[in-house]
Amino acid sequence: MRHLISLDDLTDADLRSIVARGAAFASGGPGAARPLEGTVAGIYFRKTSTRTRTAFSSGALRLGAQIIAYNAGDLQINTGESSQDTGRVFSRMLDTLVARTAGDPAELRAWAAQDRMSVVNAMSADEHPTQGLTDLTTLLRHFGRIEGLRVLYVGEGNNTAAALALGLTRFPGTELELRTPQGYGLDEDVRVRAAALAAAHGSVISERHDMTDLPAGVDAVYTSRWQTTGTSKPDPGWRRAFTPFQVTEALWETSPEAVFLHDLPAHRGEEVTARVLDGPRSVAFEQAGNKMHSAMAVLEWCRVGIVADAAAGGCW
């Protein structure tokens, strides 16, 4: 039994095997395996979700698990029961809990402090680890490798950017350059952790707060929506700071072969133009589909581990 609260919870071998397993599921195999037969997964979302909730629900069912879904207003937390007590009850009835709190990950850590039930972070305020795994799976499927890839991330240094920084830097030779509005960059703690990972793995991460002198020849351009789920910005004029960071076709002038990534939902005309999102270089909707395959890999890893052999899709 394992938990995934942060990508920091994964060893390098775990990270690589989950990504490889997700790619294997996406390629259509092994379709007959139902390793979660006889287990029950709780799907608890306090905040809105289309992709992540559907991915884990569909993925659990495909792996043989039964699911119980909870909305924000369904639990006795709303009538005063402590979160700690709710977690203790969950752990006696569920085998896995997939939870989106969009808040402090300490609550998820508290729920994980037992040896009965796996806990998966489906997005907290600081990090979106399963999105990071999806992004790595998408890169692996498209390029056949992750090592040596160069990624340009444009937009807010939010929980999606944090997961990308904490995941991509663990692959040798990768380069991640973030261009974020002033005051909306990566959290300092994430920046320090990602820089340490980059130093240990032979990768590069950098961040600037302007859109001049953009890198040429990148393999992927990534953005996310400007208003992250469950958050609001205290500055009423924040859109002025974000406007220069819109992803347009001009970014492909020096990187014509780059693919476009977006964690969705997207707002055409804000963080990205419709011509980019719906254009020939966009793999955003393939990326969304990979969320289910990545979710299946996470669920399997949490309960039964992953066999690193050719039949299972292999690990690096």
- For range 287-299, the mean pLDDT: 98
Contact call for residues 96 and 42 (beta carbons, < 8 A): yes
Quick one: CATH architecture of 7-128+291-309? Answer: 3-Layer(aba) Sandwich (3.40)
Secondary structure class of 297 (helix, strand, coil): helix
Taking residues 150-175, report their average pLDDT: 98
Q: What amino acid is encoded at 154 in this protein?
A: V
Confidence of residue 177 (pLDDT cuts 50, 70, 90): very high
Residue 40, classed as helix, strand or coil, is: strand
Helix residue spans in 186-263 (DSSP H)? 188-201, 238-242
Q: Which of 67, 1, 71 is nearest to 39 (CA)?
A: 67
| Residue 121 backbone dihedrals phi, psi, to 5 degrees | -80, 110
Q: What is the C-alpha to C-alpha distance for residues 160 and 129, in angstroms, rounded to an integer? A: 8
Q: Is the pLDDT of residue 8 over 80?
A: yes
- In eight-state DSSP terms, residue 244 is G
Tokens of 55: 């991915």
pLDDT of residue 312: 41
- Say if residue 30 is preceded by a cis peptide, omega within 30 of 0: yes
Provide the pLDDT for residue 130.
98
The mean pLDDT value of the chain amounts to 94
The proportion of the chain whose per-residue pLDDT surpasses 90, expressed as a percent, equals 90
Lowest mean pLDDT among 26-30, 140-144, 165-169: 26-30
The superfamily (CATH) of domain 130-287 is Aspartate/ornithine carbamoyltransferase (3.40.50.1370)
- pLDDT attached to residue 308: 46
Classify residue 257 as exposed, middle or buried by CB count within 10 Å of its CB (0-12, 13-18, 19+). exposed
Mean of pLDDT values over 237-245: 95
More confident residue, 1 or 112: 112
What are the residue ranges of CATH 3.40.50.1370 in the chain?
Answer: 7-128+291-309, 130-287
Residue-wise pLDDT for 302-315, tens only, equals 998 865 443 344 43
pLDDT tier for residue 153 given thresholds of 50, 70 and 90? very high
Please report which helix (H) or strand (E) contains residue 14, including its range.
helix 12-26
Convert the pLDDT of each residue in 40-89 to its tens digit.
999 999 999 999 999 999 999 999 999 999 999 999 999 999 999 999 99
Selection from 278, 286, 219 nearest residue 254 by Cα: 219
Q: Residue with structure tokens 């974000």?
A: 242
pLDDT the model gives residue 36: 96
pTM: 0.94
CA distances 218 to 21, 92, 154, 181, 198, Å, are: 26, 48, 13, 20, 18
Q: What is the mean pLDDT of residues 220-233?
A: 86
Average pLDDT, integer, range 240-246: 97
Residues 308 and 312: their CA atoms lie apart, in Å, by 6
Place of tokens 């938990």: 3
pLDDT number for residue 228 = 77
pLDDT for the residue 32: 60
Instruction: Report the pLDDT averaged over residues 11-23.
Output: 97
